[in-house]
């Protein structure tokens, strides 16, 4: 995902948005999480809850 080769699913987005990194000696996960949060902000994504699940609302066309 860091190099743009993969698709970011809503499940992966939720995992990366909420994760707590315990061990990442090379900083790869930290970069991925930072990039995910930057994209959420840049795209104006808003997360909402539906029961025990979450969804994402896109504020504008991508």
The two three-digit tokens of residue 60, written as one number: 């504008």
- Return the SS3 of 47: strand
Q: What is the pLDDT of residue 24?
A: 97
Question: What pLDDT score does 59 carry?
Answer: 73
Can you list the alpha helix ranges (DSSP code H) found in 1-62?
A: 10-18, 28-43
**What tokens does 47 get?**
């997360």
How does residue 58 score in pLDDT terms, banded at 50, 70 and 90?
confident
Q: What is the mean pLDDT of the chain?
A: 86
- 41: its two tokens: 């902000």
Question: Could you tell me the two tokens for 28?
Answer: 């790869």
Residue in the structure block whose two tokens are 């840049």? 42
């Amino acid at each position: 995902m860091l190099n743009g080769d993969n698709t970011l699913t809503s499940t992966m987005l939720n995992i990366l948005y909420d994760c707590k990194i315990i061990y990442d000696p090379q900083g790869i996960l930290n970069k991925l999480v930072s990039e995910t949060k930057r994209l959420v902000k840049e795209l104006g994504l808003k997360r909402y809850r539906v029961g025990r699940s979450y969804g994402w609302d896109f504020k504008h066309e991508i």
